[in-house]
Chain A
């Protein structure tokens, strides 16, 4: 399982790449995509929408299931990965390249794990 060392992780299996103190990229982890199976669609918020740590920011669909994506931070959406609308399979094939949203004005965050702690958390499962 791929868990890049430079990222932070939530217990609901989102990754966060802080690009500054108040901005970040958010995506789904390799563990998340393998649990979800073939992802067929992702519902994302719009630019300027606010997201709240611990609450759903959107959802991800497989053929027979839909799962909430829990926001790891409280912030404002600054960019949305529009390409995922046409290529949701990238969430499976390249989970750390296929970011979901970029956020700015981060005002808070859930408890985030570093790579080693997240790996341990996944193993506890």
Chain B
């Protein structure tokens, strides 16, 4: 398919702006760019058809099953989009006086209150724009806490299980911490003895997701948080997997000191092809003074942004985060409410267990316990015996209109496929998908070459990623 630049016709343009009603202003030639940017010259028809064609070459939750583990590809309710498009929100300048943005501040205030209740946290910031950004903010809170206690120079180690998302260690290093990796048990759970051996006077904190990346609930969670607290460290909750437990169990009650939430996962605001998301961070009261500034406070019945916060880590982003994303998450929480939030979690877990139960007919499941919202299967044996890999199954799924599960994660499992169906799939949808998984398994085992050649029906076959990385072509080259 042609690029916008290849469709460009010199002299073609949309008529968007009126002529200037004032005299033009001329800058000195030395201040101006030598030539105009080579942006495409197109009619509105060209643009409309171009993006419609691109849409047909993409796959969203609206197109079909999307069991991408760890990403919580649940349905994105359209009412959230509708309320986020209200001009009373979209046309508001972030630097308007507080008195003129009471509605926006109320959105932030309510989101803080409700998400605080769901996580068991006392205060929350919506400045971080994504999960990794939230992680960064959370570990900054931990760093600031130790600095405030005069232990900043001493407590420089962040403990991370080897099953963790790669962002955890990368985040720790961005905060000037060094990483202590601890090995997990075969079910991906924290090994208490390994943890006890790892903590000490240099421990700043532990980063943990619960359920873990194998979809298993850390049954010793209270002991884990206690071990870290005893050593003087804090415990950070990576909210990647909150969908399994929201409204059922609260990170705050398990002993976590701060959390980040992926509002684009758990709270249904769409992923948008990779963003914008929101990595809201919640914390216990003792960490609240360190939250990014400003924070929303209530005074005499009115809301105000308070920027004079001497203990704050500062700002991690301009303004108040991805505000419209926060707003969509609030709409979702208000829709589901007290009963709906735990019901969603419970159905996510039920769907995952049902799907696991169905896939067990062929696939090896890493842990056969009751899983949480996701589970991991391994094709290690199939790869060794028949050369059928996780990649092969994933690519074969593409031809069936199913987005494959997360591949090759967590790193502690070989030939892993991580399946997260979410609660917004019905039973018959799960059965149909499971039938496809099983059919493809049988076909691949009978004819591995058939599997290696998948996909066949997509706009392109498997791309040459080696060539892409060796000789990067990162922009269109004009002839």
Physical interaction between A and B: yes
Residues of chain A whose beta carbon lies under 8 Å from any beta carbon of chain B: 38, 40-41, 61-64, 88-89
Chain A contact surface mostly: loop
B408, CB-defined interface residue at 8 Å: yes
Give the contact-size bracket for chain B: under 10
Which residues 251-269 of B sit at the A interface, judged by CB distance below 8 A?
none
Contacts of B466 in A (CB 8 A): 38, 40, 62-63
Contacts of A62 in B (CB 8 A): 466
Q: Complex: how many Å from CA A38 to CA B468?
A: 12
Contacts of A38 in B (CB 8 A): 466, 470
| Besides A41-B469, A61-B469, A64-B408, 12 new A-B residue pairs in contact (Cβ under 8 A), listed by A number | A38-B466, A38-B470, A40-B466, A40-B469, A40-B470, A41-B470, A62-B466, A63-B465, A63-B466, A63-B469, A88-B470, A89-B470
| Chain B nearest Cβ from A89, distance in angstroms | 6
Q: Complex: how many Å from CA A41 to CA B472?
A: 11
Minimum CB distance partner of A37 in chain B: B466
Which residues 429-479 of B sit at the A interface, judged by CB distance below 8 A?
465-466, 469-470
**In the complex, the 4 A-B pairs of residues with the closest C-beta atoms, listed nearest first:** A40-B469, A38-B466, A63-B465, A40-B470
Number of A-B contacts defined by CB within 8 Å: 15
Contacts of A88 in B (CB 8 A): 470
- Most chain-B CB neighbours within 10 Å: which of A61, A63, A89? A63
Which residues 297-324 of B sit at the A interface, judged by CB distance below 8 A?
none
Contacts of A89 in B (CB 8 A): 470
Minimum CB distance partner of B470 in chain A: A40
| Chain A nearest Cβ from B240, distance in angstroms | 21
| Chain A nearest Cβ from B408, distance in angstroms | 7
Q: Complex: how many Å from CA A89 to CA B466?
A: 10
Interface pairs (15), CB distance under 8 Å: A38-B466, A38-B470, A40-B466, A40-B469, A40-B470, A41-B469, A41-B470, A61-B469, A62-B466, A63-B465, A63-B466, A63-B469, A64-B408, A88-B470, A89-B470
| Chain A nearest Cβ from B416, distance in angstroms | 13
| Chain A nearest Cβ from B384, distance in angstroms | 16
| Chain B nearest Cβ from A68, distance in angstroms | 15
